[in-house]
Amino acid sequence: MAREIKFSLVYRDMWQSSGKYVPMVHQLKEIAPVIIEMGCFDRIETNGGAFEQVNLLFGENPNLAVREWTAPFNKAGIQTHMLERGLNALRMNPVPADVRELMYKVKAKQGTNISRSFCGLNDSRNLELSVKYAKSGGMISQVALSITHSPVHTVEYYMSLVDKVVAFGADEICLKDMAGIGRPAFLGKLTKEIKNKYPHIIVQYHGHTGPGFSVASMLEVARAGADYLDVAMEPLSWGMVHPDVITIQAMLKDAGFLVKDINMDAYMEARRLTQSFIDDFLGYFIDPGNKQMTSLLVGCGLPGGMMGSMMADLKGFHGAINSSLRNQGKKELLLNELVVMLFQEVEYVWPRLGYPPLVTPFSQYVKNIALMNLMHTLKGEARWSTIDKDTWNMILGKTGKLPGELAPEIIKIATDKGMEFYHGNPQDAFPNELDRFRKEMSDNNWDLGQDDEELFEFAMHERQYRDYKSGVAKERFKQELEAAKAKAGAPIIVTRPVVELPKIDIEKIQEKHPGAKPVQATVKGQIVWEYDMADKSTAPNVGEKVEAGKPICYIQAFYGLEEIKTSFNGKYVAICAKHGDIVEKGEIIAFVE
């Protein structure tokens, strides 16, 4: 009898691999019955990752969104699953153990059935509590292996992790092929090893389309015993997202597997609704380049979803790089030449940083180092001149053990700076915090929420939650949407005075202040000067002092507020961005000398 392969629609990841935002709760409630009517899905990825943060950035309640969105699938008997990042849970930095434990209790009560837990470094220590807390909270524990392609990422390497998490009590294994660069034959071998050793363990495959391997990978893992495949649907499928369910269903049916039929009338209606969400407002925040596949990703291994931000980075740096080359009497570079050079630098940097799997947030760290190395070397300066705090935490072992060995040159830099390598359990460095948040909520007369869900949200996303409660987030999103519509040529109604800074001529600033150093945005987002007064802040004045190591401003990124600091003392000689401006990563926001 033919073996059945089941499908999971990764509706959350479809959006977040495409752009900045996901649909609002009223849109999700509208499409849920249609997805159910398609009849081909046994699972839906509903939340997790940045889903909660996105709702907070809208100025909306993420707990309401999760409950309303999962409810129709629960009623229809379709399992829902979320994505969480192990030590980092639902954010980009480590989370105390008591907040992590509460997360699973809350999400289970809200209607999420399965927790897909991954560690970007594949460190079992970061996953042990994920398994324990998911099961005690009433969820199915699915551990995801962060798949990449390197000399150290062998079948034996991954099976060692599988052995550990199965011993912890994990119910399922996911092959999280976040960049889509897992080679099909390798993934087939790994799946077969898991199934042979642990026949009771469900195996699910998740692969992005980016470099083009994932369709072949899906056939290989299906033949090797996989139970579920993550798929997408138009108009968001393919490109940097995931293969479309129609193609995968037809391929598996032809290969002799038992697969559910697709109600094409419902598919077309879900396709129409998804497009209507894009047309409504979400399309303003989707990079058109994310619809393309590129084989260039095969070599560098970067996740496809990073292509849009990476191109924005390069565009932001392009002018400064060419300005430097002109000053050196060298030939200027085309953007395409910079793309190739950056990919080559990633290939150089990655093994020297110990082969961290290129998944959030470690893919960002590797790409950022490669970008800064490229900037420095093109200026005739040394590699590794700029390494940010989060990357140092990865290098020093504070977020987990790297899969490979650090290069001697990296170890020497750390030693010369007097830094110490951390060998303890990463979780131990982050003490419990729920009592602090509970007290503040009591002092503010804030409701802890049903099943303590508001307490959880505050503790998980402190800054974004404060902005949600104050109304700042909703107003900020309205302004961002107005700016996006204006940029796209759509008419907008201006309801407040708009004060523009004079246009900044960067080359003239550099000529007038040859010793001035640029302060650049580390992420794409909205400039927030003086965070504590975000609703009435203004940019600093020329001549004001800057102190090394202290934040000069913040950038509201999709995952939260990012501090912008300088490594030197000085004073402002030019301000290039006003409060509320949307800046690209790498864009110059000020000059300091």
Pairing label, strands 228-231, 6-9: parallel
Report pLDDT for 524: 76
Q: Is the pLDDT of residue 177 over 90?
A: yes
Tell me which fold the domain 506-592 belongs to: OB fold (Dihydrolipoamide Acetyltransferase, E2P) (2.40.50)
Question: Quick one: average pLDDT of 155-167?
Answer: 98
Which residues 6+ apart lie within 8 Å of 315 measured at CB? Answer: 335, 584, 586
Considering Cα of 292, then 526, then 358, then 458, what sign does the dihedral take?
Answer: negative
Report pLDDT for 558: 53
Cα within 13 Å of Cα(419), Cβ side: 20
Read off the pTM.
0.81
Report pLDDT for 504: 56
Other beta carbons less than 10 A from residue 547's beta carbon: 12
Least confident of 74-83, 276-285, 575-584: 575-584
Tell me which fold the domain 6-286 belongs to: TIM Barrel (3.20.20)
Encode pLDDT of 454-508 as tens digits: 999 999 999 999 999 999 999 999 999 998 888 876 443 333 333 343 445 666 7
Name the residue ranges covered by the structural domains of the chain.
Answer: 6-286, 294-423, 506-592
Question: Quick one: average pLDDT of 139-155?
Answer: 96
Encode pLDDT of 428-453 as tens digits: 989 999 999 999 999 999 999 999 99
Query: Comparing C-alpha atoms, which of 266, 267, 201 is closest to residue 228?
Result: 201
Q: Is the pLDDT of residue 128 over 70?
A: yes
Q: Please give the torsion angle defined by the CA atoms of residues 393, 399, 405 and 409, in that order, rounded to the nearest 10 degrees.
A: 0
Q: Is the pLDDT of residue 307 over 70?
A: no
